[in-house]
């Protein structure tokens, strides 16, 4: 429900800003909202000059929103449209970044003879508008390469220019070779690690077997005495 209401408010705001209005009036026993503009913009809607401060924008928004609020003017469609336009204007002028971009757009629109070519606005005749992007090879000035004929294209002596398909194939081959080398190194490292772990297991198993055999031969009492003796010797060495 809120989403549909917001969409409706945006549509009404756009329609109000793009239309040519002679006068908008909101009649109420206690309020009167009047706006005289040939073409409305956000500053005209709030009744402010373009050099107004942020404090003036906020104060004017509070005053006008109170006057034209739907609760204050029940049943008035004009006041409802005005209230939506006031909120739309404040949402732009209250933010420095959006206000700066909006001011730039107003300056462009105010110039005589301005025309739109996609996202570009200019006063040049349509036949003289040329779109160029130097980052594209088709639009680059080829004169800079005129004096470089015969020189290594990639800056490496003996390496001539290659087609895009050749470069792409070389990149694929390089990736495949790199993947094979990486897999070989990983497998070699894994095999070496497993081999070292197996050797440690064998040594530990042999040591455990020897300890069990000595324990069987010596018996529990002699084995405990030998363990106590080795413990005392180890403590003396510390």
The 10s digit of each residue's pLDDT in 191-207 is 999 999 999 999 999 98
Domain count, the chain: 1
Q: What percent of the chain lies above the pLDDT cut of 90?
A: 30
Burial pattern 93-107, b for ≥16 Cβ within 10 A else e, equals beeeeebeebbeeee
Range of the domain at 70: 2-110
Q: Is 20 exposed, middle or buried (0-12, 13-18, 19+ CB in 10 A)?
A: exposed
In a domain, 131, yes or no: no
What does pLDDT average to over the chain?
A: 76
In a domain, 237, yes or no: no
Identify any residues that bridge with 35 across adjacent strands, giving them in sequence order.
24
In a domain, 146, yes or no: no
Kindly tell me if the per-residue pLDDT of 6 is higher than 70: no
How sure is the predictor about 4, in pLDDT bands with cuts at 50, 70 and 90?
low
What's 10's domain CATH number? Answer: 1.10.287.110
In a domain, 29, yes or no: yes
Chain segment 27-37, per-residue pLDDT in tens = 333 333 333 33
Q: What percent of the chain lies above the pLDDT cut of 70?
A: 67
Query: What tokens appear for 74 in the block?
Result: 């029940």
Residue 142 per-residue DSSP state: G
pLDDT at 119: 59
Query: Measuring CA to CA, which residue among 227, 205, 204, 203 is closest to residue 215?
Result: 227
Location of structure tokens 């036949």: 127
In a domain, 200, yes or no: no
In a domain, 125, yes or no: no
Question: Greater confidence, 89 or 72?
Answer: 89
Question: Mean pLDDT over residues 60-83, rounded?
Answer: 87
Distances 121 to 26, 93, 134 between C-alpha atoms, Å: 36, 22, 20
Query: Measuring CA to CA, which residue among 52, 90, 94, 49 is closest to residue 68?
Result: 90
């Amino acid at each position: 429900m809120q989403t549909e209401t917001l969409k409706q408010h945006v549509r009404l705001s756009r329609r109000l800003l793009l239309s040519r209005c002679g006068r908008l009036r909101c009649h109420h026993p206690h309020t009167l909202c009047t706006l005289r503009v040939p073409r409305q913009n956000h500053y005209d809607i709030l009744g402010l000059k373009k050099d107004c401060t942020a404090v003036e924008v906020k104060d004017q928004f509070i005053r006008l929103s109170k006057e034209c609020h739907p609760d204050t003017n029940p049943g008035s469609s004009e006041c409802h449209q005005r209230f939506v336009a006031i909120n739309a204007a404040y949402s732009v002028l209250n933010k420095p970044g959006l206000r700066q971009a909006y001011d730039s757009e107003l300056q462009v629109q105010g110039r005589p003879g301005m025309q739109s070519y996609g996202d570009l606005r200019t006063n040049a005749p349509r036949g003289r508008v040329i779109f160029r992007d130097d980052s594209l090879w088709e639009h680059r000035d080829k004169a800079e390469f005129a004096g470089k004929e015969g020189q290594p294209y990639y800056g490496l002596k003996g390496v001539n220019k290659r087609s895009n398909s050749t470069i792409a194939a070389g990149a694929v081959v390089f990736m495949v070779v790199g993947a094979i080398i990486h897999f070989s190194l990983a497998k070699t490292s894994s095999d070496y690690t497993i081999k070292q772990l197996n050797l440690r297991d064998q040594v530990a198993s042999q040591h455990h077997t020897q300890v069990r055999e000595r324990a069987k031969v010596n018996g529990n009492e002699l084995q405990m005495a030998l363990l106590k003796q080795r413990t005392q010797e180890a403590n003396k060495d510390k």
